[in-house]
Amino acid sequence: MATYRKIKNKENPYVMINKEWVNDATMSAKSKGILLYLLSLPDDWIIHEIEIVKHFTDGEKSIRTGIRELIKLGYITREQERHENGKFGELNYDVHEVPTVTLL
């Protein structure tokens, strides 16, 4: 089998990732694609699920399912902000190359 790659230089940026999760048999292909996309974003990127949907041909429900899978597996942690008046604020997402939870 041959592998064809683009030459990497300043005009052709690339992403460097820990590839351990690529062989994780507990992950769906959809979740792997979403994780790869999220890891390719700048570290200070603010994640909004509806924005992720715009970058895939999958529907909103499919992307949300993939994100829930990544949360369950520990690749994404999500926290809901709460305002002083008790109302809910933004959802904050943290994306991890290595899962933060261990499945039993």
Number of structural domains in the chain? 1
Contact 62, 53 (CB under 8 A): no
* Distances, alpha carbon 44 to alpha carbons 39, 68, 69, 81, 95, in Å: 11, 21, 23, 18, 11
11 within some domain: no
65 within some domain: yes
In sign, the C-alpha dihedral spanning 69, 74, 75, 76 is positive
Who wins on pLDDT, 7 or 61? 61
Q: Is 78 helix (H, G, I), strand (E, B) or coil?
A: strand
Q: What CA dihedral angle connects 104, 94, 35 and 29, to 10 degrees? A: 40
51 within some domain: yes
Q: Which domain range does residue 73 map to?
A: 19-95
80 within some domain: yes
103 within some domain: no
54 within some domain: yes
52 within some domain: yes
86 within some domain: yes
Q: What tens digit of pLDDT does each residue of 50-102 get?
A: 999 999 999 999 999 999 999 999 999 998 888 888 888 888 899 999 888 75
Q: Residue 61: which CATH number?
A: 1.10.10.10
The candidate with the shortest Cα–Cα distance to 46, out of 89, 86, 83, is 89
